[in-house]
Every structure is written in C-alpha cells, then in structure tokens.
C-alpha cells in the first residue's frame, strides 16, 4: 500500500476501532498511535517514489506541503488532547460514551482532511471537505450545553450554505469541461482539467470561481463569511479549536488554490487575484479591530485566525514567486503557532475554570511554564522577530510595497492594529497579580514547546531543502 493510501486507511480504520473501545486511556493511546502512524506515512512521501496521478488521488509538490503539515499538527493535537480530555472526564464534562464518539470523530476528521488534500477529483474533494466539516460540527457540540449546541448549529447552517455554493461552482466547472473532456469522470479530474482549461468557456469559469471563492471562503473564515468561526472556537473542545485554526481552514484554502491554478490556465478568464486580495485585506483589517472587543480568550484567538487567513489569502492573491512563497510560509507558521496557542489556552482555561480574559492574569507567577509558553505564542503570532511569522509577514509586506504601495499601506495598518491588541492582552495574561486557581498544571507542555521551537528555528534559519521545496510550489501556483 502506498503512503498516500496509508494516510487515508489508518485514520479510517482507527475511527472504527475507537468507536467501539471502552475506557479513556486505551482510546487516547490508540488515537495518538493512529495519528503517529498517519504522520509517518505522510513523511514517507518525501523519500518514496510518488504514485502516478489517478482519477481520484494525486500527490504533487503542492499537496505534500498540506498533507505533512496536516498530519503533524494532527499528531501533536492528539497528544494535547489526551491530557485535555482526561481532565474533562475527571470533572464530569464528558461521559465515556461521548469520549468514544470524540476519538472516533477525531480520526474521521483526519481522514476527511487528508482525502480532500490528496484528491485528484474535484467532486471527491468537495465530498471530503464536507465530511471533515460535519465531523467538526459534531465535536463542537459535544458538551451538549445550550451555547455549544447553538455554536454547532450556526456552524452547520453557515457551513452548509458555503458548501452549497462550492458545490454549485464545482458543477459549473464540470459543465465548462464536459464539451472538451467528455461526460463523466474525466471532466472532474483536476490534472486533466488544468491541462485542457485553455479550451474551456471563460464565462463559465468566471462564474464558477466566484461561487467557489465564496463557498470555500466560508470554510476559510474570510470576512464577511466568518460568523461561525468565533462561536465554534469558543464552545467546542480546545483540541478541536487547534485543529480548526491550524488545519481545516488550510484545507478549504487549498481547494481555492487548486481552482485558482485552473483559472490561470485559461488566459481569457477572470484574474482571481484581485478577488482574493480584496477578501484577504478585508478579513485582516476587520479582524484586527475586532480583537480589541473580545472578552473570551478563545474568541480572541479565533479572530486572530481570521486575521491570518486574510494575510495568507492576500499573499496568494498577489501571486508571483515571492508572494506565493510568503503565503506558503505564513500558512505553515500560522498553523504551528496558532495550534500551540490553543494548546496553552486549553490548559489555562481548565486551571482557571474560565475562558474570560479578565479572570486570566499573572500566569508568569502562578504557572510560569504555561504562562511563558503562551507569551511566546502570542509574540510569535503578533509578528515579533525572530519568529517565523515575522519572516513571512515581512516577505508579504515587501513584495506588496514593490508592486502596490497603497495596498501595502493598508496591509501594514491591519498588522499594526492587530499587534497592538495582542500586546495589550499579553501583558494581562502574563504579568500582574494572579487571579483564579493556582493549582499546578498536570498536562504535558511538550506539544506547545515543540511547535514554538519549530517556529523559532524557521525564523532564525530556513533549511535550503525547505526553501527549494517552497520555491517549487510557489512556481507551481503561478
């Protein structure tokens, strides 16, 4: 079995087993083991020969980036989840039945995301993204409180609207391809579509991309399609918040990038860049100002995710080798940093018994390792050197200044506004008189500090092999 098939088979089989296994410890260990094996299979794509593209699966330079990142964060989130969910069992927030459901849905979600990333069929990709969305909807509402069910319902409704728009866009692409490639599967295979796109009706492609950007943009969390995201982050289990911010948003953006490449292959079609630049810039500026009004720590970082997905979408919309490189780097750095932040936030909320920002203060005194870990994450996501986020943001700003100074000014405005909001919050989290419980943290902080070490290393020195790899993907994106 090839590595790409293993990245699909392992989580799917694990989901079935986890749905049956009683007991927290055994389920948590199997969840971690399955995630480790899936990551090993994804990493093997670097060294083993790539399988030829088929009608349903594809491995190329672009989706290897997403697959490896997806499986790595999936592994560290599973490690974090083991201790986090253990606390939820001890406090009675989750029952053993819900726990089996949670672990099974976790692996099913990983299967859906990996399938979407490895898919060479635009219809299969749509189905996989919908599967990943539905599993996260179910996990957001797992506490069965009024607020959790309301958040899950909002996520389901808005996600369904988005996925319906994406389905309509996918159908329009199929209609445009059918006269050239014939009816059936060939008109849905991405490698065949991109090879024949120059002969497609540009008017149909234009209309399709608008629906696809709006549909998948809802999943990315771009403003004004973002309303589900803060509630889902605030009310769901924190490991799912980490996965949502670090992974699922990337999967939806990956779909947009695939169709952007398809549009670029038709010279007479609408240029997708300005639409992506506009939505990205709007998301950045909107979320940056909204950071000042948050009173819940998980909602605060949910809006930070909207801000950074806006930066990434903006970079890919600008296009060109440097902007695409910066977008890829920022996507990786954001996934690692934001998931690390949620790892720390989850433990802080459990210790303090609250997610209210006013009740989380003085962590450097009460819980130094946890407090300074959160401080590192906030400084990194705010764009402070020498972290990798600073490097990617610097590349985005410089390439924009060289090509569109006015857009660069708006971009810098958004970054500065967000920086101010995060810095204000950081001083309260870390310094001052401790509030709430001072009980020691029982959870492992290894996933948090592993992520931050990688982000710091990326800011200090990017290995030549990584630079060459990202450059190849940047050229592929056009």
Grade residue 367 by pLDDT with cuts at 50, 70 and 90: confident
CB atoms inside a 10 Å sphere around CB 25 = 10
The candidate with the shortest Cα–Cα distance to 327, out of 46, 129, 66, is 66
Q: Give me 413's structure tokens.
A: 């405005």
pLDDT in tens, 183-210: 888 999 999 999 999 999 999 999 999 9
Please tell me the predicted confidence (pLDDT) of residue 87: 73
Grade residue 438 by pLDDT with cuts at 50, 70 and 90: low
More confident residue, 433 or 306: 306
Q: Determine the average pLDDT of the residues in 349-369.
A: 83
Distance CA 89, CA 241 (A): 18
Grade residue 233 by pLDDT with cuts at 50, 70 and 90: confident
Q: What is the DSSP letter of 244?
A: I
Grade residue 388 by pLDDT with cuts at 50, 70 and 90: very high
pLDDT in tens, 300-322: 999 999 999 999 999 999 999 99
Q: Which of 65-79, 182-196, 378-392, 438-452 has the lowest mean pLDDT?
A: 438-452
More confident residue, 95 or 139: 139
Q: Determine the average pLDDT of the residues in 264-279.
A: 91
Distance CA 476, CA 75 (A): 28
Please tell me the predicted confidence (pLDDT) of residue 442: 63
Local structure of 296: helix, strand or coil: strand
Residue ranges of E strands in 280-367: none
Contact 10/67 with Cβ under 8 angstroms? no
Please tell me the predicted confidence (pLDDT) of residue 377: 94
Chain-wide mean pLDDT for the chain?
90
pLDDT higher than threshold 70 for residue 436: no
Local structure of 438: helix, strand or coil: coil
CA angle 363, 364, 369 (to 5 degrees): 95
Please tell me the predicted confidence (pLDDT) of residue 312: 96
Q: Looking at mean pLDDT, say which of 16-20, 70-74, 245-249, 291-295 comes out highest.
A: 70-74
H or E stretch covering 431:
none
pTM over 0.85: yes
pLDDT in tens, 30-83: 999 999 999 999 999 988 888 888 889 999 988 999 999 999 999 999 999 888
Please tell me the predicted confidence (pLDDT) of residue 92: 65
Grade residue 245 by pLDDT with cuts at 50, 70 and 90: confident
The candidate with the shortest Cα–Cα distance to 363, out of 432, 294, 295, is 432
Contact 283/312 with Cβ under 8 angstroms? no
Residues in a beta bridge with 57 = 119
pLDDT in tens, 402-414: 999 999 999 999 9
Please tell me the predicted confidence (pLDDT) of residue 441: 60
Local structure of 227: helix, strand or coil: coil
**Residue 49, by phi and psi: left (phi above 0), alpha (psi -120 to 50) or beta?**
beta
Distance CA 402, CA 333 (A): 23
């Amino acid at each position: 079995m090839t590595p790409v098939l293993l990245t699909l088979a392992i989580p799917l089989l694990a989901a079935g087993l986890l749905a049956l296994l009683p007991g927290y410890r055994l389920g948590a260990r199997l969840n971690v083991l399955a995630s480790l094996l899936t990551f090993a299979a994804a990493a093997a794509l670097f060294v083993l020969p790539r399988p030829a593209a088929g009608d349903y699966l594809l491995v190329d330079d672009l989706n290897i980036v997403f697959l490896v990142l997806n499986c790595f964060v999936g592994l560290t989130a599973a490690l974090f989840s083991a201790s986090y969910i253990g606390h939820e069992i001890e406090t009675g927030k989750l029952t053993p039945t819900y726990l089996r459901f949670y672990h099974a849905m976790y692996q099913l979600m990983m299967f859906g995301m990996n399938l979407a990333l490895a898919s060479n069929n635009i219809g299969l990709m749509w189905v996989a993204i919908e599967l990943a969305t539905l599993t996260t909807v179910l996990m957001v509402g797992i506490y069965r409180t009024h607020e959790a069910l309301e958040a899950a319902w909002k996520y389901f409704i808005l996600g369904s609207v988005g996925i319906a728009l994406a389905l309509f866009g996918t159908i329009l692409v199929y209609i445009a391809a059918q006269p050239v490639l014939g009816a059936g599967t060939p008109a849905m295979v991405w490698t065949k579509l991109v090879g024949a796109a120059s002969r497609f009706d540009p008017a149909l492609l234009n209309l399709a991309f608008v629906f696809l950007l709006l549909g998948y943009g809802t999943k990315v969390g771009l403003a004004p399609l973002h309303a589900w995201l803060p509630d889902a982050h605030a009310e769901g289990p924190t490991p799912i918040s980490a996965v949502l911010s670090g992974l699922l948003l990337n999967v939806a953006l990956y779909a947009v990038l695939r169709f952007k490449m398809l549009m670029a292959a038709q010279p007479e079609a609408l240029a997708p860049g300005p639409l992506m630049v506009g939505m990205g810039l709007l998301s950045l500026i909107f979320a940056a100002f909204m950071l000042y009004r948050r009173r819940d720590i998980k909602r605060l970082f949910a809006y930070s995710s909207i801000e950074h997905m806006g930066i990434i979408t903006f970079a890919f919309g600008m296009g060109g080798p440097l902007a695409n490189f910066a977008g890829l780097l920022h996507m990786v750095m954001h996934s690692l940093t934001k998931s690390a932040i949620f790892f720390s936030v989850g433990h802080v909320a459990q210790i303090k018994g609250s997610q209210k920002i006013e009740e989380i203060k003085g962590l450097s005194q009460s819980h130094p390792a946890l407090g300074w870990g959160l401080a590192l994450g906030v400084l990194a996501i705010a764009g402070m050197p020498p972290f990798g986020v600073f490097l990617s943001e610097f590349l985005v700003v410089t390439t924009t200044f060289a090509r569109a100074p006015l857009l660069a000014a708006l971009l810098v405005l958004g970054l500065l506004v967000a920086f101010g909001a995060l810095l204000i919050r950081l001083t309260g989290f870390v310094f001052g008189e401790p509030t709430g419980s001072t009980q020691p943290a029982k959870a492992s902080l290894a996933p948090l500090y592993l992520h931050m070490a990688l982000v710091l290393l990326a800011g200090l020195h990017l290995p030549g092999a990584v630079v060459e790899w990202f450059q190849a993907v940047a050229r592929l994106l056009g």
